[in-house]
Amino acid sequence: MHSNFRAIGISYKNTPLEVREAVAFDESQTKQFLHQMKEVLAVEEALILSTCNRTEIYYNAPEDIAEQLAALVDVFHGISTSLPSADYFQQMDYDQSVKHLFSVSLGLESMVLGDIQITNQVKKAYQWSADEQMAGPFLHRLLHTIFYTNKRMVQETPFRDGNASVASSAVNVVEQFISTFTNPKIAVVGLGEIGENVVENLKGLKAQVTLVNRTEQKALDLAGSLGYHVAPLEELDSVLAESHVVVSAVQVPEPIITQAKLKDNHHPKMLIDLSVPRSIDEDVEAVSGVILYNVDQLQEKASKALEQRQSVIPAVNAIIDESIAEFNNWSQEMEVSPTIKKLKQALEDIRKQELARYVGKMSANEAKILDKATKGMIQKVIKLPVLQLKAACKRGEAETLVGVLNDLFNLEEEKTEPSK
């Protein structure tokens, strides 16, 4: 079981965006594909982690089926031979796939180091596997170990402190600013990649959010699932007047938010310009109550957080290595547990057979005493083989001992009996 866990994966580090987009899985596709893996490739357990930056498939199967799996992905997504994703999928063996899933889940492999969203994405992927009965004892234990390790990392290191991306730095500044407002209003202008990231980071903030975009449909699509408002770009002036915070990430040649548009401002207002070139005129700060942040200031905050995170990587890796060592011990013991079970059963059968020969010649009380005495003997007899088996696991020598026990006690006999 231990060595049957493997993975294939592509990520932003080695695969162009059009290939990543072509092989991405949403929830219903993930569940369909898990089902196909079971039916077509006899996979027992699997986890599909698919985000905009990566698609990785972790699986437990008796054979190494990496190539068939990559081919199945292409068939499932209807990818033509001109763009075979199989060329990009990297194969990982047991050790690589376990270590990689830990690193990914804790944010060590993210585009923004320490990205907090990835842990939730892994939790979702795990939930979908469980929904499809594709998470067995191995995956359950592995994922719970990862979530526990994530907690340890947060408690024992400053890895997640600060905000390492411009979008999350911006939202952090916004959060502090609106903490005193009873009903804060936030507007996000421009929904390109940065604007989308800001919207993503705003989730969970107690505020009324309005999205403003040139292509209104994109704003509607984004707003729908989040319960946000939408306004056309032509109404920017009135949105500007009502909002306490405006984050602008719109691509324009000249600033579209100027001092003139803010002259009637009556309440504290924060403007955040994430556009390059700038979309908010610098002189807006002359208006009473207006605070302006630009990309460089937020980038500086993000860079400091990023530097700190990079310095903590060795400490995070040390925690991961500890967790993997513990997990591997468990996983190896799982391999010998069927043998331990069979050995206990074989000895118990012998005990019961022998008891049956004498029980008729004894009083109920004597039978009780004998039952207790023989049970105690069996427990003492089995104690050492079990300890030796577990020790052999740690040395990677369990197979030999399992073979010896099978021969000594004929533990495999039920498999060799002819079918009736």
Burial class (CB in 10 A: 0-12, 13-18, 19+), 173: buried
Catalytic residue, candidates 52, 79, 252, 287: 52
* SS3 track for the chain: CHHHEEEEEEECCCCCHHHHHHCCCCHHHHHHHHHHHHHHHCCCEEEEEECCCEEEEEEECCCCCHHHHHHHHHHHHCCCCCCCHHHCCEEECHHHHHHHHHHHHCCCCCCCCCCCHHHHHHHHHHHHHHHCCCCCHHHHHHHHHHHHHHHHHHHHCCCCCCCCCHHHHHHHHHHHHHCCCCCCEEEEECCCHHHHHHHHHHCCCCCEEEEEECCHHHHHHHHHHHCCEEEEHHHHHHHHHHCCEEEECCCCCCCCECHHHHCCCCCCEEEEECCCCCCECHHHHHCCCEEEEEHHHHHHHHHHHHHHHHHHHHHHHHHHHHHHHHHHHHHHHHHHHHHHHHHHHHHHHHHHHHHHHHHHHCCHHHHHHHHHHHHHHHHHHHHHHHHHHHHHHHHCCHHHHHHHHHHHHCCCHHHHCCCC
Q: Is 52 a catalytic site residue?
A: yes
Report CA torsion sign: 39, 41, 45, 47: negative
List Cβ neighbours of 349 (8 Å cut-off, separation of 6 or more): none
* SS3 track for 100-114: HHHHHHCCCCCCCCC
**Using alpha carbons only, how large is the chain's radius of gyration in Å?**
30
- Strand order from edge to edge, sheet including 54-60: 45-50, 54-60, 5-11, 90-92
Take residue 32 and report the two structure tokens written for it: 């369909």
**Residues with a known catalytic role:** 52
